[in-house]
Chain A
Amino acid sequence: MNCDEAGILLHALIDGELDAGHARELEMHIAGCAGCAAQLREFQELRKSMKPASLRYTAPVALRGRIEGKLSARGAGASRRSVVKGFAFGAAASAIAASGVLVMVMRTDDDRRALGEVVSAHLRSLQAQHLIDVESTDQHTVKPWFNGRLDVAPPVADLTAQGFTLLGGRLDYVDAKPVAAIVYRRRVHIINLFCAPAPGAANRAAVMQSLQGFNVRRWRDNGLNLWAVSDISPDELMEFGEKFEAALKQ
């Protein structure tokens, strides 16, 4: 064994990766080679200076939460391409959803995917410190902010008097397509109202769904698909949706 070989194999010795035969050869070489013996000592010293525990990093709690949230939303059936399918499904759903009547519909796969997407976007907004792009309690500030950013003007209603504080708006992406997110607060709870264009589609009555502890009130009005997502109770979220629809009709 020459010094070049020994110079590489001594690392395998330190790491306990050397088989007995090579270990024996290496030890014989080192016994007769001061240079390689010194190398071995130096690298053993270096090893002692590297305390793995002190060199590790700990993943931020927020990162862990974000990953868990995304995995949960996906695991429950969310996938890409879903919202487009959700839109396509809309026409069929409207046939079974009697106008003006709340129905608990049987969840189809496409429904569930759209649900997963918006819940995922809601979680993202809470965890990524990116809740609001335009911060304002004034509907006349929030609504125009979307001009030029979206193909549609999302409805924005001031519901402060009804107990839902407007916090602002955000451009979000659901299935890689831009959507408007209008953000409200009820006590300490955040409500994200997602609006995506559904051109030409018939109106559709509200449906309540829930996923991963979040409630979603979904409806379609005036060529827009709307999803209100929050962790407030279904009753309160239903109330929010009703107040919101009522405010727009005024």
Chain B
Amino acid sequence: MMAGGAADVGDGGKAERFKALALPHLDEIYTLARYLLRNASDADDAVQECYLRAFRHFDTFRGGPIKPWLFAILRNVCHASYAGGARLVFTADDVDAGAAQAIPIWREDVDTPEQAMLRRHDSDTMRRLIGELPAEFREVIVLREINDLSYRDIATVIEAPIGTVMSRLARARGMLRDAWIAAEGRSG
């Protein structure tokens, strides 16, 4: 009886198609959200909003791999949150990095070499170092190293030319290498 009502009739199929395509990437989307927002509950909210937004705009999805499309939406959601109140920018990660952040890893001297070695290879350290990169470098590192996107896909996600992707990735890795060496040097 209301205009537009009939358009919803086929939505069951649409939802199923969307779920089959998009939900398998949930962990990857969530991973990017965690790195971008550095906070578990903000990441939760952003990922949920990303999926609902993606579903609303599913009609505009032109096929091909859905991952870069979802990443781009998530990125927009996260940026909207930054702009919306700066609440999300520098909140400390409240779940698994909390303890690690309280104790800088270069607070040395007390560890045995064995402990230092273990810590050096601790993925928490790497997570934290990545988390400390400036946002535009952090996102290319995560998309490349963790989410395994090609340069072309990264360019799509961050809406920048491939040349920008390359130079940012080079700088990002340079910063990460320096931070890593600093952490190792101080702990070794």
- Could you list which residues of chain A lie within 8 angstroms of chain B, going by C-beta atoms? 7-9, 11-12, 15, 17, 42-43, 46-47, 49-52, 54-60, 63-64, 66-68, 70-72, 74-77, 79, 85, 88-89, 92, 108-110, 112-113
Contacts and interface: CB of A to CB of B under 8 A. Distances in A.
A70 to B, nearest CB: 6
B123 A109 contact: no
B48 A50 contact: no
Interface in B17-69: 18-19, 23, 26-31, 34, 43-44, 47-48, 51-52, 55
Contacts of B151: 12, 15, 17
Given A11-B170, A15-B151, A110-B1, 16 more contacts: A8-B167, A43-B173, A43-B177, A49-B121, A52-B146, A54-B126, A55-B123, A55-B146, A56-B28, A57-B34, A63-B26, A63-B44, A67-B23, A67-B47, A68-B19, A109-B1
A68 B28 CA distance: 16
A8 B34 CA distance: 27
Contacts of A68: 19, 23
Contacts of B26: 59, 63-64, 67
A60 B44 contact: yes
Contacts of A8: 166-167, 170
Contact of B145 (A52, A76, A110, A112): A52
Contacts of B6: 109
Contacts of B52: 67, 70-71, 74
A71 B18 contact: yes
Interface of B: 1-2, 5-6, 8-9, 11-12, 14-16, 18-19, 23, 26-31, 34, 43-44, 47-48, 51-52, 55, 121, 123, 126-127, 130, 144-146, 148, 150-151, 166-167, 169-170, 173, 176-177, 180
Nearest to A77: B8
Given A11-B170, A63-B48, A85 B177 contact: no
8 contacts: A49-B126, A51-B123, A55-B31, A57-B30, A57-B43, A59-B26, A108-B1, A108-B5
Contacts of A57: 27, 30-31, 34, 43
Contact of B51 (A43, A67, A92): A67
B126 A12 contact: no
Chain A CB count within 10 A is highest, among B26, B121, B130, for B26
Nearest to A9: B166
Contact of B27 (A42, A49, A56, A89): A56
Given A12-B151, A55-B145, A67-B51, A109 B5 contact: yes
Contacts of B144: 15
A85 B170 CA distance: 55
B180 A63 contact: no
Given A42-B177, A50-B145, A75 B14 contact: yes
Contacts of B51: 67, 70-71
Contact of A59 (B47, B167, B180): B47
A71 B170 contact: no
